[in-house]
Amino acid sequence: MGSIWSNKPPPSSSSRALSSRQTPCTRTHQIGALFLVATTFFFTRLLFFDPSVSSSTAATSTTLLLHHHHHQQEAASLGVGPISWPHCGYGPYLSLKIYVYDEHDDDIRGLDQLLGGRDGSIPPTSCLEGQWGTQVKIHRLLLESRFRTLRKEEADLFFVPAYARCLKRMGGLNDQEINQTYVKVLSQMPYFRRSGGRDHIFVFPSGLGAHLFRSWATYINRSIILTPEVPSFSTVTTPYNGDRTDKEGTSAFNTWKDIIIPGNVDDGMTKPGAPLVQPLPLSKRKYLANYLGRAQGKVGRLRLIELAKQFPDKLESPELKFSGPEKLEKVEYFQHLRDAKFCLAPRGESSWTLRFFESFFVECVPVILSDQAEFPFQNVIDYTLFSIKWPSTSIGPELLEYLESIPDEDIERMIAAGRQVRCLWVYAPDSDLCSAMQGILWELQRKVRQFHQSAETFWLHNRTIVNRNLVEFFSWKPPMPLP
């Protein structure tokens, strides 16, 4: 049998002379070299990794592997590679302990009302649909997470579950009850008092944002807010600026402490295996672009609807009905969405739109028509690879002319790049290395503080944490005045 070096050219006379003076490389030498490599690798791991970290935690790599092998092949062919989280500010692996407050905890009365309504009659399953579904999904996934701790004293972060937006919609709580219940719950949390809320996490997934809790600016303005919404900072409402989350004159989002999360795409489109609706080849798509949404009196949306009337063969924009015989059912909605090369995503009542995230699962290139929109995980994702952002002030025939000028091979390239990142829009267990939860956990890791303090916490020479009355932290009794 030929050796693996048989394709090499024969050695020159000078090289033969050199090799004759060298010790031949025997199998013993090869085994010794392998042993040296293995030993070096072992001691490198021993020196540079924290031995206190559990094997399950240390096994979490900084590289977000994609769900399916064919996605990895697509990534390699594009030369993009897997998504990876930067070491700077994150650390080499996930190392978190998150305490999830329990609605059955007798020490925190009222939390159950934020999850089931004033009489507990609204089940969590009723709140899984729509934008507010992330409140339920994130709560459930953290309960199952390997990063959850049952001991408050060892927690890095604290998660406060609440389905308040869904409860308001379904009549479980009104605005006043939501506000009063939040304040009551927070006043029973010593650890919230200790840090001024800096290490506590809240989810506000709708266009109302944290303004759903009317007193948010007083009580949780230092806390970590998870939201798909970044409102504009202007208090002047114009056709292209202003947001109902800004009508209080103060934005509830802070780029330093808060985290943008993906919208809640229907589970039928994100589940492993065959989705409800399969994408179509570009050659079989009927329209250049589509807009599937209500007008809501918004100038950008009204312009798209009018543009569709002018160019019905290029832009589809059916009038969506949410009730009655003409209502588009879930499958029909996604069938319409997949029938175009580009999915137009204008702003509505707020700057973000779920349509942006939905478009990835029918492999339609999203075109963002919302100037203030922000997107999740921008520190690891380059959105120019798979989406287009167009000025909302230029919605007209020039938009369609531009989209029509883009070659199909460029559209295919953008669609392929979108396949690589859409797993980050899926609310799956954090054991999936590419999921919305995995991304959120990496972002949360940057928020962890070694030191906790607020304007109402003090410490003594022996490191004892006390309140203004010099009462030790573990002796604080609720209800406590909040910071």
Tens of pLDDT, residue by residue over 183-224, are 999 999 999 999 999 999 999 987 778 889 999 999 999 999
- Please check whether residues 336 and 379 belong to one and the same domain: yes
pLDDT at 312: 95
Contacts of residue 281, Cβ cutoff 8 Å, sequence gap at least 6: none
End-to-end CA distance of the chain: 79
Tokens at residue 473, please? Answer: 């932290």
- CA–CA distances in Å: residue 124 to residues 175, 179, 458: 19, 20, 40
pLDDT at 153: 94
Q: Residue 463 falls within a domain, yes or no? A: no
Q: Which domain holds residue 174?
A: 98-263+445-450
Residue 424 has pLDDT above 90, yes or no: yes
- Please check whether residues 153 and 249 belong to one and the same domain: yes
Q: Residue 362 falls within a domain, yes or no? A: yes
Residue 247 has pLDDT above 90, yes or no: no
Angle at 97 between CA 458 and CA 41, to 5 degrees: 120
Number of H helices, E strands in the chain: 17, 15
Q: How confident is the model at residue 324 (pLDDT cuts 50, 70, 90)?
A: low
Phi, psi torsion values for 215, nearest 5 degrees: -100, 25
pLDDT at 230: 67
The answer to whether residues 317 and 291 touch, using CB atoms and an 8 Å cutoff, is yes
Domain count within the chain? 2
Segment 397-424 mean pLDDT: 97
pLDDT at 119: 92
Structure-model confidence comparison of residues 133 and 351, the more confident one: 133
Residue 40 has pLDDT above 60, yes or no: no
pLDDT at 257: 92
pLDDT at 342: 98
- Please check whether residues 129 and 226 belong to one and the same domain: yes
pLDDT at 32: 55
- Please check whether residues 222 and 254 belong to one and the same domain: yes
- Single-letter code of the amino acid located at 389: K
pLDDT at 359: 97
- Please check whether residues 202 and 278 belong to one and the same domain: no
Dist. CA 325–CA 64, nearest whole Å: 44
Q: From its phi and psi, is residue 445 left (phi > 0), alpha (psi between -120 and 50) or beta?
A: alpha
Residue 441 has pLDDT above 60, yes or no: yes
Q: How confident is the model at residue 82 (pLDDT cuts 50, 70, 90)?
A: low
- Global confidence as pTM: 0.80
Alpha helices in 23-98 (DSSP H): 27-48, 55-58, 69-78
- Please check whether residues 319 and 414 belong to one and the same domain: yes
Q: Tokens 């499958």 appear where?
A: 331
- Please check whether residues 280 and 413 belong to one and the same domain: yes
Q: Residue 6 falls within a domain, yes or no? A: no
Worst-scoring range by mean pLDDT, 16-25, 274-283, 287-296, 325-334? 16-25
pLDDT at 5: 33
Residue 258 has pLDDT above 70, yes or no: yes
Q: Residue 211 falls within a domain, yes or no? A: yes
DSSP per-residue letters across 382-405: -GGGT-EE--GGG-SHHHHHHHHT
* DSSP helix/strand/coil, 159: strand
- Please check whether residues 281 and 419 belong to one and the same domain: yes
* DSSP helix/strand/coil, 195: helix
Q: How confident is the model at residue 475 (pLDDT cuts 50, 70, 90)?
A: very high
Worst-scoring range by mean pLDDT, 10-19, 120-129, 153-162? 10-19
Q: Residue 464 falls within a domain, yes or no? A: no
Q: Residue 19 falls within a domain, yes or no? A: no
Of 383, 127, 432, 456, the closest CA to residue 271 belongs to 432
- Please check whether residues 323 and 306 belong to one and the same domain: yes
What CATH code is carried by the domain that includes residue 373? 3.40.50.2000
- Please check whether residues 326 and 353 belong to one and the same domain: yes
Sheet with 200-203: list strands edge to edge.
148-149, 98-100, 157-159, 200-203, 224-227, 259-260
Dist. CA 193–CA 456, nearest whole Å: 8
Segment 165-182 mean pLDDT: 94
Alpha helices in 282-367 (DSSP H): 299-310, 330-337, 354-359
Residue 146's CB is within 10 A of a number of other CB atoms, namely 13
Q: How confident is the model at residue 173 (pLDDT cuts 50, 70, 90)?
A: very high
Q: Residue 458 falls within a domain, yes or no? A: no
Provide the sign of the torsion angle of the four alpha carbons 89, 90, 92, 97, taken in this order.
positive
Segment 452-476 mean pLDDT: 92
Dist. CA 380–CA 448, nearest whole Å: 19
Q: What is the overall mean pLDDT for the chain?
A: 81
Structure-model confidence comparison of residues 248 and 255, the more confident one: 255
Q: Measure the CA dihedral 371/376/377/383, to 10°.
A: -50
Tokens at residue 310, please? Answer: 């002018």
The answer to whether residues 232 and 392 touch, using CB atoms and an 8 Å cutoff, is no
Dist. CA 128–CA 124, nearest whole Å: 7
Highest averaged pLDDT of the listed ranges 49-63, 107-121, 374-388, 397-411: 397-411
- Please check whether residues 109 and 248 belong to one and the same domain: yes
Percent of the chain with pLDDT over 90: 58
Residue 393 has pLDDT above 50, yes or no: yes
Q: Residue 75 falls within a domain, yes or no? A: no
